[in-house]
């Protein structure tokens, strides 16, 4: 008999999974293994309660694969956007993850407290009385009981469009614009290196001198350092030695005399708090600061920037979703191409 399970996740995770972006459930703590879950097992996901509230059965997914991945594979999955709020694993560290194709959102979100008449075929207590710490196994009887309470699923078309659908739509629109203006191959994968490449290219197109802390990294066949035209020494000359050193640790810096600095931190697998700490070290500069991350991490940014320690940079700092950066990059590149014959200085 196939075993099923109840898993815990944040409400943010449930929303991201419902949109079709997330395809991996990762365990935040180390586990010895998940031997009872197999392809075909169904995992009911309960959103963790707010203060004083009850856990809520939000939806479910069917297991495709369960395995332990190393830090390198975990980082690749995170860069592809398949993991919501990914962790930062040290070299050699591993995590158990569950792969799935589709998260099916329940038509009615069911509080755990309402599952008073739902139990497994062998349990004495109903699920409403269970103390769940991460993963709790259930059988077909309990699964059907939860589904009955939920009243079915929200139709896929009623949910937010999935990532693949949104990317395909964007690619079609971009292709049409490219054909109109006679340019091509503007779209790039949303990896850390390629997001930096977009920022570097945009900065130069807008008339800034540009620096990157990752000159040896590449996006496709393009080395980032081949595009940047500011060195660490240049930053020290412009900003002073005291600020030049922390400034040189930023992912991408735009600088123009009389305008000041635009500073960007691309956050894919790392945490936003650490990026804000780096920003605070250059808070004295005449600068605009930008966190570039997936839209799903905006709430994490808002919670972090509200901390009193970041009061000095709060009004200077903004959040840019990766999808918005891609649009900026495409439109800036198209604009630059369109006005090329005018030879307007930028």
Of the pLDDT bands very low, low, confident and very high (cuts 50, 70, 90), residue 341 is confident
**Other CB atoms within 10 A of residue 50 CB:** 9
In whole angstroms, what is the distance from residue 22 CA to residue 58 CA? 15
pLDDT score at 338? 76
The average confidence (pLDDT) of the chain is 86
DSSP calls for 257-291: TTTEEEEEEE-SSS-HHHHHHHHHTTTTSSEEEEE
The tokens of 127 are what?
Answer: 């699920």
Q: What is the architecture, at CATH level 2, of domain 4-160? A: Roll (2.30)
The segment(s) of the chain belonging to CATH 2.30.130.30 are 4-160
Q: How far apart are the first and last CA of the chain?
A: 67
Positive/negative CA dihedral, 3, 4, 5, 6: negative
Q: What is the average per-residue pLDDT within 94-119? A: 94
pLDDT in tens, 5-53: 999 998 889 988 988 889 999 987 665 557 789 999 999 999 986 666 7
pLDDT score at 331? 87
Distant-in-sequence, close-in-space partners of 283: CB < 8 Å, separation ≥ 6: 312, 313, 316
Of the pLDDT bands very low, low, confident and very high (cuts 50, 70, 90), residue 200 is very high
Contact 5, 44 (CB under 8 A): yes
pLDDT in tens, 247-295: 999 999 999 998 999 999 999 888 899 999 999 999 989 899 999 999 9
Cα angle, residue 237 at apex, residues 235 and 242 outer, rounded to 5°: 75
pLDDT score at 337? 76
Enclosing H/E stretch for 162: none
Q: What is the average per-residue pLDDT within 208-230? A: 91
In whole angstroms, what is the distance from residue 334 CA to residue 135 CA? 49
Q: pTM for the full model?
A: 0.49
SS3 294: coil
Residue 161 DSSP class:
P
- Partners of 98 in the beta sheet? 25, 66
pLDDT in tens, 140-149: 999 999 999 9
More confident residue, 298 or 190: 298
In whole angstroms, what is the distance from residue 322 CA to residue 187 CA? 13
pLDDT score at 167? 57
pLDDT score at 182? 46
Looking at the chain, the whole-number percentage of residues with pLDDT higher than 70 is 86
Which of these ranges, 26-35, 58-67, 326-335, has the smallest mean pLDDT?
Answer: 26-35
SS3 6: strand
């Amino acid at each position: 008999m196939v075993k099923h399970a109840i898993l815990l996740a944040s409400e943010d995770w449930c929303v991201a999974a419902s949109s079709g972006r997330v395809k991996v459930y990762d365990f935040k703590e180390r586990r010895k293994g998940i031997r009872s879950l197999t392809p075909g097992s169904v995992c009911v996901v309960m959103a963790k309660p707010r203060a004083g509230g009850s856990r809520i059965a939000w939806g479910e997914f069917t297991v495709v694969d369960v395995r332990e991945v190393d830090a390198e594979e975990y980082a690749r999955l995170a860069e592809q956007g398949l993991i919501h709020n990914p962790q930062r694993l040290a070299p050699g560290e591993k995590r158990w993850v569950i792969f799935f194709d589709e998260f099916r959102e329940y038509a009615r979100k069911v509080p755990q407290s309402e599952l008073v008449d739902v139990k497994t075929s062998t349990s004495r207590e109903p699920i409403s009385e269970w103390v769940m710490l991460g993963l709790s196994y259930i059988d077909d009887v309990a699964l059907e009981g939860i589904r009955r309470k939920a009243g079915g699923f929200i139709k896929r078309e009623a949910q937010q469009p999935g990532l693949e659908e949104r990317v395909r739509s964007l690619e079609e629109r971009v292709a049409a614009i490219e054909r109109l203006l006679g340019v091509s191959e503007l779209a790039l994968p949303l990896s850390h290196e390629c997001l930096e490449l977009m920022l570097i290219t945009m900065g130069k197109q807008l008339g800034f001198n540009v620096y990157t802390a990752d000159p040896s990294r590449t996006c496709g066949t393009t080395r980032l350092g081949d595009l940047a035209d500011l060195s660490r020494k240049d930053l020290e000359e412009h900003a002073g030695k005291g600020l030049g050193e922390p400034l040189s640790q930023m992912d991408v810096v735009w600088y123009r005399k009389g305008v000041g600095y635009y500073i960007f931190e691309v956050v894919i697998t790392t945490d936003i708090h650490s990026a804000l700490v780096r920003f605070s070290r250059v808070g004295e500069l005449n600068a605009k600061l930008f966190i570039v991350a997936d839209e799903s991490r905006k709430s994490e940014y808002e919670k972090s920037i509200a901390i009193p320690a970041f009061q000095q940079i709060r009004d200077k700092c903004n959040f840019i979703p990766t999808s918005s950066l891609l649009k900026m990059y495409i439109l800036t590149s198209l604009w630059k191409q369109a006005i090329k014959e005018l030879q307007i200085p930028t």
